[in-house]
Amino acid sequence: MTFKRSFPPVVDEHTRVLVLGSLPGERSLTLAQYYGHPKNKFWSLVGDVIERDLVGMDYPARLDTLLEHHIGLWDVIAQARREGSLDSRIRDHATNDLATLVAGLPSLAAVAFNGGTAAKIGMQALTESRTSLDLIRLPSSSPAYAAVPYSEKLRAWEALRKWLLV
């Protein structure tokens, strides 16, 4: 198993909500794009929350649109060994420096965790540093988490509107 690495954060000084995943999957790593697997519902969920067709945009436009809506992206894991794309196969992980990133985002109001692995690792890292943020656990957008219907996931993700002023 080789080490897999996360991407740089997508944030700016206006970021109000930071969405943290665990570690990019194989398809995302190959494409060098967050949520690159076509069956991952991340772009659909966030697009529905901000009422924009992110799925119909090219990748750079998606990132620009997120930033325009004050949404940032990153992963809780900097690097790890993992065969395949499942979080359950992550081994020997090193955590990204979430506390430093969060401290440098003056408009940040909430951190949302995309799935259980991201929440478990990220909440532990952030509760030790800055407790004034709202921490939100969201159902995973991953195709591996298909037991929860899209409509139920969307209801949970729509909670982000509170911080986005959509």
Please confirm, yes or no, whether 96 is among the known catalytic residues: no
- Write out the DSSP string of the chain: --EEEPPPPB--TT--EEEEESS--HHHHHHTSTT-STT--HHHHHHHHHT---TTS-HHHHHHHHHHTTEEEEESEEEEE-SSS-GGG-EEEEE--HHHHHHT-TT--EEEEESHHHHHHHHHHHHTT-TTSEEEEE---STT-TTS-HHHHHHHHGGGHHHHT-
Catalytic residue chosen out of the listed positions 6, 22, 28, 40: 40
Residues known to be catalytic: 40
